[in-house]
Amino acid sequence: MNLPYAEPYKTKMVEYIKPSTIEERRQWIKEADYNLFNLTSDKVFIDLLTDSGTGAMSDKQWAEMMIGDESYAGSQSFLKLKETVKQITGFSYFLPTHQGRAAENVLFSVLVKEGNIIPGNSHFDTTKGHIEFRKATALDCTIDEAFDTTVYHPFKGNVNIEKLEAALKNDTEDRIPFVIVTVTCNSAGGQPVSIENIKQVSEVCKKYDTPLYFDAARFAENAYFIKIREEGYQDKTIKEIVKEMFSYADGMTMSAKKDGLVNMGGFIALNNEEVYKKATVFNIMYEGFITYGGLNGRDMGALAVGLDEATEFDYLETRIEQVAFLGQQLVDAGIPVQQPFGGHAIFLDANKFVPTIPRNEYRAQALAIELYIAGGIRSVEIGTILADRDPFTHKNRYPELELVRLAIPRRTYSLNHMRYIAAVLKNIYASRDQAKRGYKIIDEAPIMRHFTVKLEKLVD
Ligand SMILES: *Cc1c(COP(=O)(O)O)cnc(C)c1O
C-alpha cells in the first residue's frame, strides 16, 4: 500500500501568528527601509526568513531543559552532548560554541592565515565572511550544474574534483590549510553532496596532505538525500550514513540551529588533538570555558536529544517532503524554482521570475519584498545583496543565481501554510510583467551588508 507520509508527531502547544493587510505591510516594509531583517516578527504572518533556530523542540528536548546541569566546569549536560556527538559523528574532540559562526571563528582562528585560500562548495556567507575577514580567499569549486536551476542533478552540492585538484596541485606555497565541504550546500540551494563525491574529495585531500572539514549544519538532511538518491544506501539507516559521511573528514563546524533541532547552539568536532588544543584557547577567549562554550547546560542537553531526533528517518522524511510539497505546488503553476528541491528550502529563480527588473536594481530582493507585501510571507534574498562587494575592487559581485529563499522551519508550519504560500506566489507570478523597477542601496555595511542594508524604492 502506498500511503502518503504523515508527521510522526502531534501538537502539544500552539503559538498564534498575526494576519495583517496589504496596506499595513506596504507601510511597514517602507519603514523597515525595504530590508526584511528590519521587520519585527509581529508584522510577519509566515516567517520563512530562515530555518535557523526557528524550529520546534520536542517534549523530550523540553524535558532535558529541566534537568540541565549548569555547572561551570564538567557539566553533565556537556558530557551527554560530547558523548552523543562522538556516537553520531565519530569525532573524539568536541568544543561547544554559541552558534555555527562562532565555531568557524574559533576553528579559523587556528587554521586560517592572511593570504590563504580555502577551497569548498559555495561557502556559506558567515564562512566566507570569516575567511575574508582574515584576508584569505574562499575558492568556490562547486560543480557547474549547481548554477543551472533547470537541470536535474541528484547532488548539486558536489565538489568539482578537477577544479579542487588543480587548486591543490598549484598550491606550491602552502596557501591551502584545509578544504571545507558544506553538507548540504546552503548557498547552492540546500543541495546535497553524495558519498561518492565526499570520498573523492577526501582522496584528493589525502593525496595533497590537506585536511578536510565539513560545514555540517544540515548533515542529517544530506544523509536523507544519500539514502533516497544514491545507489547502495537505500537499506542503510540515517545514522549509519551519517557515520560514513563523517568518516571521510578530519573535523566539522556545526550550526546546531539547523540539524541540531535547537534554537541556539553550535560546536566543533574533530580528530586532530593538536588543532583541538589550539582551538580551546580561542574557545575560552571568545565563547566560554570548554565545557559550555557560550551554551547553557540545559541547551546542551536539548541539543544532545535534538541530534538524535534529527538523524531519524521518519522525522527527515516529513521535513523534506513538506519542503518538496511546496516546491511541487509552485512547479505545477509554472513558477521557476531551483530543481531538484533543496532539503530545507525552496528557491525562487528571480532571473527567470522577474527578468524585467534590472540586475543592478536587486531583482531577487524586489521579489522578496513583493512576497511580503502580497502575503505577509518573509523570505530572504540570496543574490547580489548577499554576495556583497568584492573585498578588493568594492564593486558589486553579481552571482550567477539571483534567488529568493523560502526556508521552512523544522516541525513548525502545516501543509495548509504551504498551500497559502503557493497561492500568494501564483498571484504574484500572474502579474509579473508589471514589475519593472527594483531598489537602490542608500546605506550598507562593509561586510555581510544584507543584515543591515537600507534600500529605496525606484520608480519611473
Ligand atoms: C547557518 C549556517 C552557518 C552559520 O551558523 P550560525 O549558527 O547561523 O552562526 C554556517 N554554515 C552553514 C551551512 C549554515 O547553514
Q: Given the residues 51, 69, 125, 259, select the one marked as catalytic.
A: 125
* Burial 354-388, CB ≥16 within 10 A → b, else e: beebebebbbbbbbbbbbbbbbbbbbbbbbbbbbb
Centre of ligand 1 to C-alpha 124, Å, is 7
All residues at 6 or more sequence positions from 12 whose CB lies less than 8 Å from its CB, including other chains: 59
Residue 5: its pLDDT value, please?
Answer: 82
Instruction: Render each residue's pLDDT in the chain as its tens digit; 460 residues.
Output: 788 888 999 999 999 999 999 999 999 999 999 999 999 999 999 999 999 999 999 999 999 999 999 999 999 999 999 999 999 999 999 999 999 999 999 999 999 999 999 999 989 989 999 999 999 999 999 999 988 877 899 999 999 999 999 999 999 999 999 999 999 987 667 899 999 999 999 999 999 999 999 999 999 999 999 999 999 999 999 999 999 999 999 999 999 999 999 999 999 999 999 999 999 999 999 999 999 999 999 999 999 999 999 999 999 999 999 999 999 999 999 999 988 998 999 999 999 999 999 999 999 999 999 999 999 999 999 999 998 888 788 898 898 889 999 999 999 999 999 999 999 999 999 999 999 999 999 999 888 899 999 999 999 8
What residue ranges line ligand 1, CB within 6 angstroms? 52, 99-101, 124, 126-127, 182, 186, 215, 217, 255, 257-258, 266
Q: Which CATH number fits domain 22-51+313-457: 3.90.1150.10, 3.40.50.410, 3.30.390.30, 3.30.70.260?
A: 3.90.1150.10
Q: If we measure between CA atoms, which residue out of 417, 411, 361, 395 comes closest to residue 34? A: 361
Q: Given the residues 217, 223, 269, 304, select the one marked as catalytic.
A: 217
225 is catalytic: no
CATH number of 59-310: 3.40.640.10
**E-state strands within 110-178:** 117-120, 137-140
pLDDT tens-place string over residues 293-322? 999 999 999 999 999 999 999 999 999 999
Q: Given the residues 43, 123, 344, 450, select the one marked as catalytic.
A: 450
Domain ranges of the chain: 22-51+313-457, 59-310
140 is catalytic: no
Strands 137-140 and 117-120 come out as: parallel
Up-side HSE of residue 24: CA atoms within 13 Å toward CB?
11
